[in-house]
Structure 1
Amino acid sequence: MSISIIIPVFNEASIIASLLTYLKQNSDKRNIKEIIVVDGGSTDQTITIAKESGAKVIQSVKGRSRQLNCGAKYAIGNILYFLHVDTLPPKNFDSSILSAVHANSQAGCFRMKFDTKNTFLSFFAWMTKLNFKICRGGDQSLFITKELFELTGGFNESYDVYEDNEFTDRLYEIIDFKILPRHVITSARRYEEIGTVKLQYYFGVMHFKNYTGAGPKKLHEYYLRKIAV
């Protein structure tokens, strides 16, 4: 079994090199088949830096769901590991993922911590230990066997936002989703820009809208009004 790491990016020249270096330093290269950076049309040096850092770079139409599916299409590992560019998985994350798959877990994620000591955010990060759909999010990263990914049809490209949640919601319906007892560290930058309580409220509204039948278009419109910066 081997892992293909898939990272969607757009104008991430300032942080892509540090992430790629971190991944190599904190995993066993025998377990990592490839690191795929899926670029959505960056106009900075993201592509050049990613290539110089040893990643395979694939060009895609912009949009995280489309970029993730594009990366999965070209991945050659048995396991796909979807990772946000501002999220750092735990040391030896590859061994944790492989152990879970060998124990018959077809998909799952890590728990999450923010790179801040903010008490409010720490509470919501603590909730990621709970194995409920409402507690999932793309910042927790996602591993899935390629076989299952292809069976599900992958990410729904109708979703310009909320694609991670829509996908994990479907996974919960067909498998026992695994929460690995270690933590990724993700950036709190967006919370600091918008306001921690305000942004968490907006995300809560998006969850409510989704569970009361709002489709991808309405979710995207709300995101553009309230969250996009």
Structure 2
Amino acid sequence: MPKELPDISIIIPVLNEEDYILKVLESIALNATSNQIKEILVVDGGSRDQTVKVARGKGVQVITGPKGRAKQMNLGAKIATGQLLYFLHVDSLPPYAFDAKIIDSHIKGFKAGSFQLRFDTSSLFLRFFAWCTKINQPICRGGDQSLFVAKTLFEELGGFNENYVIYEDNEFIGRLYKKTSFKVINDYVQTSARRYLKIGMVRLQYHFAIIHLKHYLGKGPENLYSYYQKNIAL
């Protein structure tokens, strides 16, 4: 008998994202090709704009919780009822048949994985770093690429570490790599280059590299966040 297909809970953490929430929800609807998306959970951290109103207008479930992406994603995962959790940043748009490709990866034995990355810019500098996401190593991963993980594995690892105000995706993915085989799906999530355009491409990439280095050298979440606040936060 054919194997029963797993269902998917999509979890999108948001905070004042009225300019992007409609785009990502429409992209999900346009690019899904299976009937296995069980729910879309928009987890709001206290938006003061029209984010919640827009999301509810599209008929998805909106959950309100404490601010902080790790906290918001953990809350969404706790409420989610799908066998697979798919964490998606609000400014990252999934590719065509993303759901089928996630399910196919899971059927082939992968309990976690992500897509590769493309930026919505023609910058050669950013195209190079996007190309690096083809490489199946933790240093080449990031939350903008989206992330699928079996709910049982997510719970086994204790979810995202809420001590990390930033770098929560990378820290969790690092633990995934140590625990299981990680799948890099041969397709692309398109993400916004908005932070690079505001801060400066070289400058922002440099500071991201320093944060990676600090984590590698054993610096804790408070140290990473302090550096982020000083050099990146707008």
TM bin, normalised by shorter chain, reads over 0.9
Structure-to-structure mapping, 1:1-229, within 5 angstroms:
1-28=6-33, 30-229=35-234
Within 1, Cα distance between the matches of 2:188 and 2:163?
30
Q: Can you list the C-alpha shifts for 1:41-96, whole angstroms capped at 9, x where unaligned?
A: 00111111101111100011000000000000000111000000000011110000
TM-score by length of 1: 0.99
1:224 partner SS:
helix
Contact 2:68 2:165 in 1 (8 A): yes
Within 1, Cα distance between the matches of 2:173 and 2:111?
12
Within 2, Cα distance between the matches of 1:54 and 1:28?
19
Contact 2:34 2:99 in 1 (8 A): no
- Can you give the 5+ residue segments of structure 1 that lack an aligned partner in the other structure? none
Within 1, Cα distance between the matches of 2:133 and 2:188?
9
Which region of structure 1 is more displaced relative to structure 2, 19-28 or 81-90?
Answer: 19-28
1:220 partner SS:
helix
Within 2, Cα distance between the matches of 1:125 and 1:14?
23
Per-residue deviation, 1:28:
3.0
1:67 partner SS:
helix
Per-residue deviation, 1:129:
0.4
